Amino acid sequence: MKNVFVCLLMIITTLSVAQENVSNVFNIQLNPGETFGVNNNSICFKEVLSDSRCPRNVTCVWAGEARVLVDIYENGIFKEEQLVVINGNDLALNLVLGSKEYAISGFQLYPYPSINVSVPKDEYRLNLKISENEGEN
């Protein structure tokens, strides 16, 4: 019993040391053209370029993907445009803006396609998670 307790304590200690220090986590939903900012930095959901995801209730050989553009701003100044491909894999963008490091992940695009229903590009919503990592910068 003592050995089990020691093993559990070692595992918990190892996991807590191995994790990154995250100070702020934001779960965001943006419409096309909307911007979310944190610490003088921001991300803007620019537009949906394409959406070839397999519609609901349809059997597809390939799951498809959605391609969206996001703009990154640092201190209100355009820094870069990023193409984000949403295809079921959890893509993460890692950015260093000023003295902060950010991880942008959890990209999801709604609404999900339905057969014979076209979604106007201005009705899409982009969900994402922004984590501000504490560093020693």
Which amino acid, 96?
A: V
Q: What is the pLDDT of residue 17?
A: 45
Does position 10 have pLDDT exceeding 60, yes or no? no
Task: Tell me which H or E stretch contains 17.
Answer: helix 2-18
DSSP 43-73: EEEEEEEEE-PPPTT---SS---EEEEEEEE
Q: Where are the domains of the chain?
A: 21-133
Backbone angles phi, psi at 13, to 5 degrees: -65, -45
Asked whether the predicted pLDDT for residue 7 surpasses 90, the reply is: no
Tens of pLDDT, residues 106-117: 899 999 888 888
Please give the pLDDT value at position 96.
Answer: 80
In angstroms, the CA 78 to CA 126 distance is 20
pLDDT tens readout for residues 19-75: 555 568 889 999 999 999 888 889 999 999 999 999 888 888 888 899 999 999 998
Specify the CATH number for 21-133; select among 2.30.29, 3.40.50, 2.60.40, 2.60.98: 2.60.98
Angle at 122 between CA 119 and CA 127, to 5 degrees: 90
Q: What value, to the nearest 5°, has the Cα angle with vertex 117 and ends 114 and 120? A: 110
